[in-house]
Amino acid sequence: MTGEALRFEVVPGEEARRTGLPSADLDSDYIRIHLPRPVPAGRRPGAAPDREDLQGRQELLPRGDSVVFSRSLGIKRNSVVLPAGYELTGCNVPSQVLSEPDGRIRIAFWNAGPDAAPLRLTARKLAP
């Protein structure tokens, strides 16, 4: 973020286990990166992105047989979940399209730019 190189070191699996990675493989080496500032409370590096569930949301605007979700999202890593029974038909930012355990569709993205991402999703209801 600052352009400065991150300081890192290679540590054996035993040290990785002892210092915070309990599932570290003892036969592997790990890269430990020294971050320039603390990770925000309640988050950890590589944690799941923030998630916005669109079920019953007013931002889903009807457009014929489809719905549109259009909103500026400022979070760097984010995802939205479509209501049950909908399929994604369009998205204006590169994204991962994933399936939730209950079958709903989750669209996950990472905003690499400095400004909020003007996200626009379109979806349509599947036939029963």
For 33-92, write each residue's pLDDT tens digit: 887 777 666 555 544 445 555 555 545 667 777 888 888 877 778 888 888 888 999 999
* 8 Å CB contact between 110 and 104: no
Q: What is the pTM of this model?
A: 0.54
- pLDDT for 80 equals 85
- pLDDT for 88 equals 93
How buried is 72 (Cβ within 10 angstroms: 0-12 exposed, 13-18 middle, 19+ buried)? exposed
- pLDDT for 49 equals 47
- pLDDT for 43 equals 52
Q: Report residue 4 as tokens.
A: 């400065």
